[in-house]
Amino acid sequence: MSDGESHPILRRAEATPGLLPALRQLLRERREATVAAMLVLVFVLLSFGSPFFLTERNLFNVARQLSVVAIVALGQALVIIAGGIDLSVGSVIGLSAVAAAMAANATNSPAVGIVAALAVGGLTGVVNGTLITRARINPFITTLGTLSVVRGAALLVTNGSPQRFDNWAAFLGGGRIANVPVQFILLVLLAALIWIFAVRTRWGRDVYAVGDNARAARLAGLDVKFTRTMVFTISGLLAGLGGLLLAGMLSNANPNLGLGYELDVIAAVILGGVALTGGRGSIGGVVIGAALMGLLRNAFVLLNVSGYWQTITIGLVVIVAVGADSFNRKAEED
């Protein structure tokens, strides 16, 4: 009669408290665990493999190089957890970089440049979200469209030529505080902020519910359209910041800045254990995923291996990490 009797699995679980839940917990977070292990492994191997690796200079360089991808990946993670995808981030980096430079140069006020970069990013996000929720165009198609439109706009306004960006706002991208790159400090702060947002606020939890089952979320009274628009806006804002940081780092805003970045960003998110089907993933995992990609890049430079191998390896790592996860999940469900 009672449910406990008719479900032996449940009973077994109750009989051995702690063990099975712990095992399941591990299985569920296996992809992050796998990637974290890979990160440690690459770190240790590099420590032995190259005398330059463990120098402060090199480590901070790695930190600086991975920061923009990781910052943009934070927003992308929210989009993917909500069941969407944002292909436009690379183009937003380009347009916001030139917008920052042109606005700062025209007004002689770097602050206006910062606002312009964030406004371009946020606005693109709002447009993406609106097209997806109101016009009901699928996120892939919508952001594929804005990817092209936004890149075209960047080329159009600059007539294809790079813009000077060497005011104090460039400090955000190129500066250091006590030798630590400002970009990296921003990444740490933003990761903490987004993490708290995701686990400790209603809006963050709604992102997970919408991504896991949008219909159920709507029937439970959630504003699904708002949640979706919100995550695309956050993604756009962070991509706008990414453009600002890259321009600052290079003292120069090229309209082709961020070309192809969307793939690195999405790879970092997936590597970090976020499910493309939505509803699952953690912000910590995304940072680990981005860190692993940064470390691999560094490894190829230090070990003097052709950059082409780098591209191949990163692709393989994504496939292996995601493959291992779906293999585990299948084993769990059987």
Exposed/middle/buried for 84, CB within 10 Å: 0-12, 13-18, 19+?
A: buried
| Residue (of 48, 76, 77, 46) closest to 62 by Cα position | 46
Nearest to other proteins of 164, 218 (CB atom):
218
Nearest to other proteins of 21, 152 (CB atom):
21
Exposed/middle/buried for 179, CB within 10 Å: 0-12, 13-18, 19+?
A: exposed
Provide the minimum distance between the beta carbon of 157 and other proteins in the complex, in angstroms, as a whole number.
38
Provide the minimum distance between the beta carbon of 28 and other proteins in the complex, in angstroms, as a whole number.
8
Nearest to other proteins of 28, 164 (CB atom):
28
Provide the minimum distance between the beta carbon of 8 and other proteins in the complex, in angstroms, as a whole number.
10
Q: What values do phi and psi take at 165, rounded to 5?
A: -145, 85
**Beta carbons within 8 Å of 85's beta carbon, 6+ residues apart:** 76, 79, 139, 140, 143, 266, 276
Q: Determine the length of the chain.
A: 334
Handedness of CA 320, 321, 325, 328 (dihedral sign): positive
Provide the minimum distance between the beta carbon of 235 and other proteins in the complex, in angstroms, as a whole number.
20
Nearest to other proteins of 166, 212 (CB atom):
212
Provide the minimum distance between the beta carbon of 216 and other proteins in the complex, in angstroms, as a whole number.
5
Provide the minimum distance between the beta carbon of 282 and other proteins in the complex, in angstroms, as a whole number.
13
CA 112/CA 107 separation, integer angstroms: 7
Cβ contact 281:272 at 8 Å? yes
| Residue (of 130, 82, 100) closest to 242 by Cα position | 100
Nearest to other proteins of 5, 56 (CB atom):
5
Cβ contact 240:75 at 8 Å? no
Give the DSSP H/E element, type plus range, for residue 164: strand 163-164
Provide the minimum distance between the beta carbon of 201 and other proteins in the complex, in angstroms, as a whole number.
5
Nearest to other proteins of 110, 211 (CB atom):
211
State the residues that interact with other proteins by CB under 8 A: 1-4, 6-7, 10, 13-14, 17, 20-21, 28, 199-203, 205-206, 208-209, 212-213, 215-223, 275, 279-280
* Cα Rg of the chain, angstroms: 21
Nearest to other proteins of 43, 195 (CB atom):
195
* 252-253/180-181 β-pairing: unpaired
